[in-house]
């Protein structure tokens, strides 16, 4: 897994710390990785292989094309 070093503005660092303290993430590494992933996912890169099928817009969440229950 690639690693990187980055500098954050003080306000972003504080917000990430607060998210971890509130229990939104287990630790800073998880918080930063998840937040980056969400930010990148907001852009259409054309790569849908890694998309979680249960997230909004995924095939698993689309119930409109599934047959009615015969019961």
Quote the pLDDT of residue 56. 53
Residue 5: closest CA among 41, 40, 32, 42? 32
Q: What is the pLDDT of residues 1-53, one digit of tens each?
A: 889 899 999 999 999 999 999 999 999 999 999 999 999 999 877 766 655 54
Which residues, in sequence order, are CB contacts of 65 under 8 Å at separation 6+?
A: none
**Residue 9 token pair:** 């503005």
Quote the pLDDT of residue 49. 61
In total, the chain counts a number of residues equal to: 71
Domain ranges of the chain: 10-42
Q: How crowded is the C-beta side of 61, counted as CA atoms within 13 Å?
A: 8
pTM score over 0.75? no
The rounded distance, in Å, linking the Cα atoms of 18 and 15 is: 5
């Amino acid at each position: 897994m690639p690693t990187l070093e980055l500098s954050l503005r003080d306000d972003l660092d504080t917000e990430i710390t607060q998210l971890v303290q509130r229990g939104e993430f287990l630790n800073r590494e998880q918080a930063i990785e998840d937040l980056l992933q969400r930010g990148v996912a907001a852009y259409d890169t054309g790569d849908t292989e890694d998309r979680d099928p249960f997230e909004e817009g995924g095939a698993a969440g689309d119930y409109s094309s599934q047959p009615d229950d015969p019961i």
